[in-house]
Amino acid sequence: METSNRKRSVVVGLFVIIGLVILLVGILTIGSMKKVFSSNITVKTIFDDVNGLKAGNNIWYSGVKIGTVKSLRFLPNSQVEVMMNIEEKSQEFIRKNALAKVSTDGLIGNKIIVIYGGTQKVPSIEDGDQLAVAKVESTEEMLSVLSENNKNLLSITDAFKKISKNILEGRGTVGMLLNDETLYRDVDATLAGLKKASVNAQNLTAALSTYGAKLNQKGGLANDLATDTIIMRDVRATMVRLNETVASANTMVNNLKTASADINSNTKSPMGVLLHDEGTASNLKNTIQNLETSTSKLDENMLALRQNFLFRRYFKKKDKNDAKAKEELKKQEEKETEVKP
C-alpha cells in the first residue's frame, strides 16, 4: 500500500514538474515573440484612425520586427495616441524624421505599424520621441474612389454605346464615312491627291537642295556673287553706270520731245516748213528728181568719154593699176591668215 502511494506521488510530481517546464517554456517563448524580456525604449505617435490596431500588435522596420504596440489612448481631439516598445538594438537605425503608418500583416492579417524613411544626417530616435505619421488612404476611401471610378466608367461606356450606334446608323462624319461609298471615294481621292502633293513636295525639296548645293559650289556665278567682294563691287559700279546711262537716255528723250514739239509748233523754221509746207515738200521732191536725172546723164557722159580714143589709154592704165592693187591686197591678207595660229 505504501509502495503504491509512493509511485502515485512520484508520477504526480513528474507531471507537475513537466507542466511547470512547459509553462516556463511557453512563457519564455511568448515573451520572446512579444519582446517582453528585451531592453526597450518607448516611442509614441498620433493617428487620426488606427483601423483596428490593438495593443500587442507588431512593429516592423524594413521588413524586420523591432517591437510591439504598448498601449492606445484617445486624445481630446478624437485622435489616438499609440505608445510603442522598440528594441534598443534597433534604435540606432531609426531616425527622428522617420514616418509611421498602420498597415496589414499580409492580405487579411493582423494590423501592424510600419516605420520607414529617415535620412542618415538626422540623429537616431530616443526614449520618449514622437514619430510623424504618413498619410495612408483607408480601405473605405479606396472603395469610395473605386466606386466613383466605376460610375465614371459606366458613363463612358454609355457614351461609347451611343457613339457606336450613331456610327452604325450612318450618323455624323465618321458614320457617313463608313457607310457612304461616295464620300469614301472622295476621301480616298483627296488622300491620293495629298500623297501626290507630298511626293511633289519631296521632289521639290530635293531639287532645291541640289540647287542650293550647286549655288554653294565654289567657282559658280551665284557663289561668286555671294562671296566675292570684287565682283559685287564691279556689279555695283555697273549698276551705277547703267543708272547714269538711263538718266542720259531719259534726258535725250526729253530733248527729242522738246525738239519735236518745237518743230510741230514752229511752222516757220526750216524743219517746220519741210514738215508742214506742201509746196516746199513738192519743190524738194522735184529737185531730188532733177538731181537723179542729172546723175544719170553724167554717167552716160562718162561712159561716152571712156569710149573716146583720146582717153581710152588713160582708163586702161587706171584699170590695170586698180587690178594690181587688188592682187597685192589679196596676197597681204593670205599672209596674215597663215601667220595666225
* Block residue for cell numbers 515573440: 33
4-25 pLDDT, tens digit per residue, is: 777 777 777 787 788 888 887 7
The pLDDT score that the predictor gives to residue 236 is 79
Distances (CA, A) of 175 to 151, 156, 168, 244, 252: 28, 19, 6, 72, 76
Judge contact between 32 and 24, C-beta under 8 A. no
Alpha helices in 169-216, H assignment, sequence order: 172-179, 181-216
The pTM assigned to this predicted structure is: 0.37
User: What is the residue-averaged pLDDT of the chain?
Assistant: 78
Report percent pLDDT > 70 for the chain.
71
Using the CB atoms, write b or e for 131-170: b if 16+ within 10 Å: bebeeeeeeeeeeeeeeeeeeeeeeeeeeeeeeeeebeee
Please indicate whether residue 119 or residue 295 has the higher confidence score (pLDDT): 119
C-alpha to C-alpha distance for 234 and 246, rounded to whole angstroms: 18
Please indicate whether residue 94 or residue 302 has the higher confidence score (pLDDT): 94
* Percentage helix, strand, coil for the chain under 3-state DSSP, each rounded to 5: 65, 15, 20
Judge contact between 135 and 47, C-beta under 8 A. no
The closest alpha carbon to 118, from 145, 100, 97, belongs to 97
Q: Where are the domains of the chain?
A: 1-33, 40-140, 228-276
Q: Can you point out the beta strands (E) in the chain? A: 40-47, 58-61, 64-74, 80-87, 99-104, 111-116, 132-133
Average pLDDT over residues 154-171: 78
C-alpha to C-alpha distance for 231 and 56, rounded to whole angstroms: 98
Judge contact between 69 and 57, C-beta under 8 A. yes
319-329 pLDDT, tens digit per residue, is: 777 888 888 88
Average pLDDT over residues 145-166: 82
Judge contact between 317 and 311, C-beta under 8 A. no
Judge contact between 83 and 71, C-beta under 8 A. yes
Whether the per-residue pLDDT at 165 is higher than 70: the answer is yes
C-alpha to C-alpha distance for 241 and 235, rounded to whole angstroms: 10
The closest alpha carbon to 113, from 55, 36, 177, 153, belongs to 55
Average pLDDT over residues 265-282: 65
Name the range with the highest mean pLDDT among 48-52, 121-125, 150-154: 121-125
Judge contact between 6 and 58, C-beta under 8 A. no
The pLDDT score that the predictor gives to residue 289 is 77
269 SS3 class: coil
80 SS3 class: strand
Q: How far is CA 333 from the centre of its chain?
A: 75
Burial class, 98, CB count within 10 angstroms (exposed 0-12 / middle 13-18 / buried 19+): buried
Whether the per-residue pLDDT at 138 is higher than 80: the answer is no
Whether the per-residue pLDDT at 277 is higher than 80: the answer is no
The closest alpha carbon to 43, from 117, 119, 116, 94, belongs to 94
* Block residue for cell numbers 469614301: 184
Confidence of residue 70 (pLDDT cuts 50, 70, 90): very high
